[in-house]
Chains A and B, each alone.
Chain A
């Protein structure tokens, strides 16, 4: 039998302690009155009409008037990128001013910005006189300069196993370690504790085949590999081909009939069906395959680039997206046990270009978006004989958006001398990753957390201390 790594002893606090809710009574309920839906639809339609790449096809929608001031004020949309495999924070945001860094990383180290002995393409890009950015992350340097991008360094969890699964499991469930607490994901609990009257099936989207653990337990989350997945799928069987009309026409006919079947019911299902059909319509009109990024942004043709491109497409389409989850595995994975210098530049280039393209594409719309980039752990300071690095402890988190305190590397820097390291020689964790996430949620995503006490359900048994990574 395999070892118990997947554990979740599941206290189920959030789910089980809730007062029992009465199920909706379809015959009598007024909770889903048509008026609200109509307004939402109108807003959606108006918003769609304003999207540039589809302006021509949306002339009918352009007639729908938007009612200024009626749009609900909501927090930032949260985009979470998880670098799977343990990204080497010490190579991403390099403490080049530390002698110990260069002593332990004689082959793999990134040189100081002013180190003339090193090749120009292996010199860090200075950030603050102490830390420098890996040269392969150059696309991010301007964002840092504009204050759109910030870093939190020496961040990690309480997991000491240095196991990918244990550490990821802890982080995605918002816990100190793998073996404690609830089985649901931190984002699932956040959604559960942030009712927003948002019945959109695209409220939380994981661009993945499987639901990540961070969204586990969220019944209103959708996992889809691409937006093209969210569609009525009429099987193309040999029998079906005998039906007159093209497949596209048949899908349209089915869509039309479903719209009729769902048009006048007042029950919760009828309401949700209309929402679903509206989102199908919206995605159809968004036409994600023909989406053209704004401001000349060019996304890499990678998993992350494609994913972020779709996030931008959804955000501009105003389809009710609140949470987007993306995995970054990159071309080689982050688990750089060997030949790190051959692997890492490609990894960093992909993530740097993807994030920069997203920021460029979103432009002014970055105002309502916060991006968090995290990894399960960092890597050992001392490079190994395979010219790689082994599993370590603390790493770096990236934060992007107009609401983050950019242009700054925030850290309670523990130092890299032997006595300052942790365990077998790892960067010490001096900031709990939940401090960063809790602050982002409270200050940027759902300000109600500051007074309603429900953040405790998102991060159970933990009292976060906001490190100051965001603007209030």
Chain B
């Protein structure tokens, strides 16, 4: 009786505190830690190809993932990831519930400070990446989110980006490129970011028209001229954001009165006078069907997933694009099933990739709140805050200057020094049946690098950490600081920075 009453009180108190702290993130944080697979042991034998597959398709394996994928087979795993269903991890669904920015329309958020909306936006993005079971879709959210980059700190962008993230990027991430392109072109976030909302007849604003062709579809050498930029801009005059009294503010609006209704010629195609909003829709059709677009998108996908845009796969994917009307799944499937996908040289993880892979490897329990977001900013990739329309760079050289921030994140993570983020190393060790220092080491190698320590390639690394490993005392079920430091060192090592 007494016990029950106390439990009730504790729950009530926690719920009360949670409500006070806008939403119930506290309660969720406390009662829905991410589940840990029953067996987290690696399958016997060489795991390298499986780990590589997981690393290249997803943000990285969670404990038990290597065995799961090994036993289901690569082809099944690829198919599973290509076809996300409606289900989702409870740890994600519950954590997302407290995030208002994704429940409201832009206009309803206007009284909330920009900083707060930006915090929620980043929080939701990180939570999806860390916890979603549909990892490939989240990788593509990252890919398309950068392809159709929105700088959330320009103008009212932060209020529009949540809708863009949900109804443009995530919705169409595995759909078709023409649908994605159309959704983006009608998205208030994009209309605001690239100034099309002020594109009016007379002196048209060319900003969106130019980037639409240069960065979103044809590519800079895709065969358009300055004249095409001006003509596309004319076609898109009047595409703006609703802001009239008694109308649904913050939604797409075509404003006839600002539209240039004359005849236009775009990439050699005549668009007759009087088309109204259809002028812009026709432009999107022309661009989506253009062979340069097929090639540009194919090349970019190859850069992202193969680390190489000059691969013969660029041509293959471009052909598939044209045959399937830009079906993203149809392009990716043969690429993922190809031997080149596994054998291509490693790709450096960007800060988001690095952070999420570390959190996943150690089954971290995180609220993805400000403390975690600040670590990502220190590494150079604060989400939704790349000012230029080309998205965060994918060149390795852009990211090698921030290693110190990665190391400091690794130490903070494993020692439990990030507010709202914890890793339970003893639980992981228990699940791995590790009880001695050397066994801890083996278990951490398996969790973080996905390979058995006997694997030849890891021997030098293991030798280097041997001094640390030997110091770890036998298990007492508690968190061990040396264990934490070895985990941090493994997250910090060069090998973990590549996928």
- Count of chain A residues near B, Cβ 8 A: 62
Q: 1/0 per position for A5-30, CB-CB distance to B under 8 A?
A: 01111111001110011111111100
Which of B63-71, B79-87, B487-495 lies at the interface?
Answer: B487-495
Establish whether residues B464 and A261, one from each chain, have CB atoms under 8 Å apart when the complex forms: yes
A217 adjacent to chain B (CB < 8 Å): yes
A270 to B494, CA, bound (A): 6
Give the number of A-B contacts (CB < 8 Å): 181
Q: Among the listed B114, B156, B484, which residue makes an inter-chain contact with A239, where contact means beta carbons less than 8 Å apart?
A: B484
Max count, chain A CB within 10 A of own CB: residue among B153, B388, B464, B498: B388
A269 adjacent to chain B (CB < 8 Å): yes
CB distance from B234 to the nearest CB of A (A): 18
| Majority SS at the chain A contact face | loop
Which of B33-41, B209-217, B274-282, B445-453 lies at the interface?
Answer: B209-217
A216 to B153, CA, bound (A): 13
CB distance from A254 to the nearest CB of B (A): 7
Establish whether residues A12 and B482, one from each chain, have CB atoms under 8 Å apart when the complex forms: no
Which of A148-156, A230-238, A352-360, A384-392 lies at the interface?
Answer: A230-238
Establish whether residues B411 and A254, one from each chain, have CB atoms under 8 Å apart when the complex forms: yes
Contacts of B194 in A (CB 8 A): 9-10
Q: 1/0 per position for B385-422, CB-CB distance to A under 8 A?
A: 01111100111111111111001100110011100000
Q: Among the listed B156, B407, B417, which residue makes an inter-chain contact with A232, where contact means beta carbons less than 8 Å apart?
A: B407
CB distance from A222 to the nearest CB of B (A): 7
Chain A residue at smallest Cβ distance from B250: A1
A182 to B403, CA, bound (A): 28
Establish whether residues B464 and A260, one from each chain, have CB atoms under 8 Å apart when the complex forms: yes
Establish whether residues B155 and A6, one from each chain, have CB atoms under 8 Å apart when the complex forms: yes
B380 adjacent to chain A (CB < 8 Å): yes
A398 adjacent to chain B (CB < 8 Å): no
Contacts of B227 in A (CB 8 A): none
Contacts of A265 in B (CB 8 A): 494
Contacts of A243 in B (CB 8 A): 481-482, 485
Which of A88-96, A272-280, A334-342, A455-463 lies at the interface?
Answer: A272-280
Max count, chain A CB within 10 A of own CB: residue among B207, B215, B395: B395
Chain A residue at smallest Cβ distance from B196: A9
A267 to B307, CA, bound (A): 15
Which of B52-60, B324-332, B340-348 lies at the interface?
Answer: B340-348
A434 adjacent to chain B (CB < 8 Å): no
Q: Among the listed B154, B156, B220, B403, which residue makes an inter-chain contact with A8, where contact means beta carbons less than 8 Å apart?
A: B154
Q: Among the listed A6, A12, A267, which residue makes an inter-chain contact with B388, where contact means beta carbons less than 8 Å apart?
A: A12
A216 to B380, CA, bound (A): 11
Max count, chain B CB within 10 A of own CB: residue among A1, A12, A15: A1
CB distance from B175 to the nearest CB of A (A): 25
B167 adjacent to chain A (CB < 8 Å): no
A interface with B by C-beta (< 8 Å): 1-2, 4, 6-12, 15-17, 20-28, 182-184, 199, 201, 203, 216-217, 219-222, 230, 232-235, 237, 239-240, 242-243, 250, 254, 257-258, 260-262, 264-265, 267-273, 276, 280
The 3 closest A-B pairs by CB, nearest first: A183-B387, A272-B400, A235-B417
Sample 26 A-B pairs with CB under 8 A, ordered by A number.
A4-B156, A8-B154, A10-B151, A11-B211, A11-B389, A12-B211, A12-B389, A16-B388, A17-B220, A20-B309, A22-B310, A23-B348, A23-B395, A183-B151, A199-B400, A201-B402, A201-B404, A219-B393, A254-B489, A258-B407, A258-B492, A261-B464, A261-B494, A267-B494, A271-B400, A276-B403
